[in-house]
Amino acid sequence: MLPRTEISKNHQLNDVVLDLQEGIPALDGYTGEDESGVRIVIQDFLFSASYRVGEQALLARPEDFGGIVFFDGANIAGTKTMTKDRAKNYTLQYLRHQGFLRDYGDNKYRDLHARLYLLGIRTAIYDTSQPALDGGLPLNAFEVKGKLTKSIVVLE
C-alpha cells in the first residue's frame, strides 16, 4: 500500500467527508420500534468528495472509497465536469460500500427499511478550481445533503 500524502490543506478537498448525524426515530407509517428490538431511525448526512478538474472529473482519492475502482459510465462518454448524477452515483457507492446503506443484496443482510433521500447536490463547492499540493490536476469537490433511513438493533 502506498503512503497517503496530502493533496490539499483543505480537509474537504483532501479527504472523503461523511458527517452522519445521530439518528432520530422515524415517524412515518411503516416504521417504529417493534418487539424484535429493531428501531428505524432517520439520520441527516452531509457527504463530500474531491475530484480532479481536467480531462475528466475523476475522483481525486479513489482509495478513500475502499481501495476499489468504481465503474463510472460517464467516463466512457468523456464527460469533463461533475454532474448531479455522477455525484449521486458516487454517494450511493460510498454509503453502500461502507455499510451505511444496505438497500440491496442477500435478504440475510438487507435492511428492508433502508432509504436514501437526497435533499441537495452541489457539483462544485468552489467557483474556481483549487491547486493540488501534489502537482496534479486542480481540485474541486461535490457535496450531497440528504437523509438516510435505516434499521438499528437495540441491545438492552
Summarize pLDDT for 76-89 with one digit per residue, the tens: 555 668 889 989 98
> What average pLDDT score do residues 49-67 get?
80
CA distance 112 to 19: 23
**pTM, rounded to two decimals:** 0.82
Give Cα 40 to chain centroid, integer Å: 21
pLDDT number for residue 31: 47
CB count in 10 Å sphere of residue 53 = 22
DSSP state of 87: H
CB count in 10 Å sphere of residue 34 = 10
pLDDT at 29 exceeding the cut of 50: no
